[in-house]
Amino acid sequence: MHTIIYLLAYAGLFWGFFVLLVQALGTYKLFREYSSVPPEPVSPTLPKDEIPHVTIIRPAKGLEPALYECLASVFHQTYPRDKLTVHLCVESRRDPAYAVLCRLVDDFPDFDVRVFVEEEDPYLISNDAANNANNIGPNPKIRNMSRAFREAKGDILWPLDCNVWIARDVAGRMVDRLCGFRPGGRRATPYKFVHQLPLVVDTVTSMSRVDATGQTRLSSASVTGGSGSGSGSGAAGDVSVPSSVPSRAWAHGGGRLEEMFMATTHAKFYCAINLVGVAPCVVGKSNMFRRAHLDLATDAARNPVLASSSTAAALPRGIDHFASYMCEDHVIGDLLWRTPIPGFANHGLLYGDLAVQPIAGMSVRAYVARRVRWLRARKWTVLSATLVEHGVESLVCCFYLAFGLTTVPWAREALGVPATWTALASCWALGVALWMLLDRAVSGRLHAGLSIRVDGNTPSFARGASRGGAEKRPFGEWLLAWLGREVLALPIWTWAVFLGTGVNWRGRRFRVRSDMTVVAMDEDARDDMNGRGTPEVDGIRRSGKRD
């Protein structure tokens, strides 16, 4: 029995120090790269015929907070406008986001910008079996962007979520990183894939208002995932903000939890993993890659990575290849990472530039559902990382470390601590407190906005606390959010990993399969009843044609 305990203690000690090392790398990189504005980009200053053309693709669904400002940020880029094409995508003209997209087209007439409506895509609604339309999987985001990718101009593609804002020089620096442009005409090794660190800002404070009766209200159009028009004061779609602290925390506290996660645990490990570069680590908020590389990677005849997969051979080429997967951002990055392309490095994180996502009115329930969806989508994509993910959270990791320090003989002797539960609890509490202080410093640095070049087009949520931003977090308020997120981390992980495979996404229900493909659950149930469901067929079958 003692042998087993000592083995567990050594394992806990090793894991704890390993996590601390990874955190140290990520924290170092964060403070180094996000403490000042990055240098001016090189690519916009190149001779006209040497500047690569970029197609920006922005899929929209519903009215997200500050949707117009987020989408408009690509029109304020310093990258030459004649080298930019903007494709805005929406599922149908009935989607509330459609009016916002049309407004952008009207407001920026000098840009090459088009709006693509999924329901009007002839490729998706065609009855001609020869075009393989039925082979496009159920992923609603990929289906939304399919035509925009097919009709993109140039080789460089930049899918950019509708709910993120970027600073004005980001396009140039993304191209610099992807193509290896350096000052003075120097060239670095180009990358296959470039991405940004996302940062969430909960704007429920700055976006709320007080009506004539003194009631604090939030426009439904400002609520994360909302679809109301938010057309005016006192609109029927307005959402009231509860006056009591517990009710307000439950109804709108999810945004603070999401903000906390993205600015602490996620940011530290995202930077550390990308710094070491031992495996792909990608979030699909802002990704840039080449069409030629995507076509090569998804062609089973040319890519040996796909040669052994019968499922992959049946999937379309290009972006449609990934419509069978829920976690399409990671799958795209992972496939490009594994595809051998001579002369190109794998992934490059664009340090210094943030993809800022404003959210508002997210409930705790919505936050939990979002984290569960994320974990379940990744469960089969990166199984080993998902299984140990609970161990990188403060409460669990500090317990492992405290158990090791108070159990392993040489550790106890070095620290002079007894092998008692009291000593273990004291070590655990001290570790959690130090962890909390580190998170406070990291989140404070990111939310200070020191790396963002502020101008007249910078919205308040993206200015940062040190640049006149509207959102500030007093320590007591911040601490409550930190404790809430840390306490919920293990239950959410347990529920997501062990207690189901279904996820809700973009208003639909999907089941994530062990081969990483997804199937709409209504269709999955119908196939099971008919006794004809197979992984190869279910993984690529589209969810049903739209009228």
The predicted pLDDT at position 445 comes to 95
Which tokens belong to 449?
């906005």
Is the pLDDT assigned to residue 217 strictly greater than 60? no
Quote the pTM value. 0.85
3-state secondary structure 446-504: HHCCCCCCCCCCCCHHHHCCCCCCCCCCCHHHHHHHHHHHHHHHHHHHHHHHHCCCEEE
* Burial class of residue 520 (count of CB atoms within 10 Å of its CB; 0-12, 13-18, 19+): buried
Q: What is the pLDDT of residue 536?
A: 30
Name, of 65-69, 229-233, 512-516, 539-543, the range with top average pLDDT.
65-69
Contact 479, 488 (CB under 8 A): no
DSSP string across 31-45: HHHSSSPPPPPSGGG
Q: Is the pLDDT score of 129 beyond 60?
A: no
Residue 265, classed as helix, strand or coil, is helix
Q: Tell me, what's the pLDDT at 521?
A: 65
Q: What angle, 0 to 180 degrees and rounded to 10, lies between the N-to-C axes of helices 394-405 and 421-447? A: 140
Q: Measured between alpha carbons, how far is 330 from 383 in angstroms, rounded to an integer?
A: 13
pLDDT score, position 514:
66
d(C-alpha 254, C-alpha 487), whole Å: 13
Average pLDDT of the chain, as a whole number: 83
CA dihedral 186, 55, 102, 143 (to 10 degrees): -140
The pLDDT confidence band at residue 271, using thresholds 50, 70 and 90, is very high
Residue 128, both tokens: 């001609």
Per-residue pLDDT reduced to its tens digit, 451-497 = 999 999 999 999 988 877 767 788 998 999 999 999 999 999 999 88
pLDDT of residue 373: 82
* Res. 234 pLDDT band, cuts 50 70 90: very low
5-9, 170-174, 219-223, 368-372 — which one is most confidently predicted on average?
170-174
527 has a pLDDT exceeding 70: no
Bigger pLDDT: 322 vs 42: 42
**What is the tens place of the pLDDT at every residue in 250-262?**
777 899 999 999 9
Binned at pLDDT 50, 70 and 90, residue 182 comes out as: very high
Query: Which residue of the set 95, 329, 524, 538 is catalytic?
Result: 329
Q: What pLDDT does residue 241 have?
A: 59
Nearest to 379 by CA among 499, 236, 210: 499
Give the model's confidence band at 245: pLDDT under 50 very low, under 70 low, under 90 confident, else very high. low
Q: Residue 329 catalytic? A: yes
